[in-house]
Amino acid sequence: MAEAEAREKDDPQRAHPRTCLGYTLKSQFPPGNILVPKIMQKAVGLSPVAIIIALLVGVKLAGVLGALLAIPAAAGIVVVFYEWKKIAK
């Protein structure tokens, strides 16, 4: 048993799980939580906060399909409210 543990410690190919988690978070967090909302803001016209909230609600309600449909649904709701304001005047 001690030999197996010693081989695992000396193996340079084997990365520590915390190191892998750190690299994954470091490489995935900025694009997923900063860049995507900014890109969607320019493409759809929603604020980044509204995009993140829409994604969270969509995932909670319908999982992956909800995440895919959350931003178009939120943009549609915003358009309906803007048009409703125009008609009400």
pLDDT in tens, 43-63: 788 888 888 899 899 999 999
Dist CA 62 CA 54 (whole Å): 12
Query: For the CA atoms of 43, 49, 52, 57, what is the dihedral angle to 10 degrees?
Result: -120
51 burial class (0-12, 13-18, 19+ CB within 10 angstroms)? Answer: buried
Question: What's the mean pLDDT in 25-38?
Answer: 73
Q: Convert the pLDDT of each residue in 2-31 to its tens digit.
A: 555 555 566 656 667 777 777 777 777 777
Kindly list the domain boundaries of the chain, sorted by start residue: 2-88
pLDDT of residue 33: 67
